[in-house]
Amino acid sequence: MANINIPEKIYKYESFLNDVLKEELKKTQLQLDRLYTEVAEFVQLKHSIEIMNSCKTEGSSLKTTVDIGCNFLMKAKISDTRTVYVDIGCGYFVQYSLTEAINVINKRIEYLEKQIAIYKKQSATTKAHIKMVLLGLMEIQKM
């Protein structure tokens, strides 16, 4: 039987576990959090547009409050409620009618939910790898 340096092997497994697998899991969780936040924002936008659509009289104005960041609210007046601007990414906004905006938002939410499913699967795989490495460490330490 070959001479095996057990403490060195344990160190390599622990390094792999902490430096690679746990970091990968952390990155995946951050991406999931970002995606969940984005879905929540689109759902909130969709709800706001549906309210505007139900209360709409052609070309009327609407007084509201808008979150300008960090839960700071500001009074706003929407002079024309027939169209809205939707962020399509990379700092670009596109003007849509209310019904078009709802369709675009539904497609975007669907896309984000597919991305969430991919990251959930990746997270589960990484967690399984972590468990396997931990079991391997326990076996080595029993030797």
| Residue 119 near residue 31 (C-beta atoms within 8 A) | yes
Question: What is the pLDDT, as a whole number, of residue 1?
Answer: 44
- Entry pTM: 0.80
Q: Are 83 and 102 in contact (CB under 8 A)?
A: no
Residue 109: its pLDDT value, please?
A: 96
Q: pLDDT digit of tens for each residue in the chain (143 aa)?
A: 455 688 888 888 889 999 999 999 999 999 999 999 999 999 998 998 888 888 765 567 778 888 888 889 999 888 878 888 888 889 899 999 999 999 999 999 999 999 999 999 999 999 999 999 999 888 888 86
Task: Measure the CA–CA gap between 31 and 26, rounded to whole angstroms.
Answer: 9
Spatial separation of the C-alpha atoms in residues 137 and 116, rounded to whole Å: 31
Q: Is 58 helix (H, G, I), strand (E, B) or coil?
A: coil
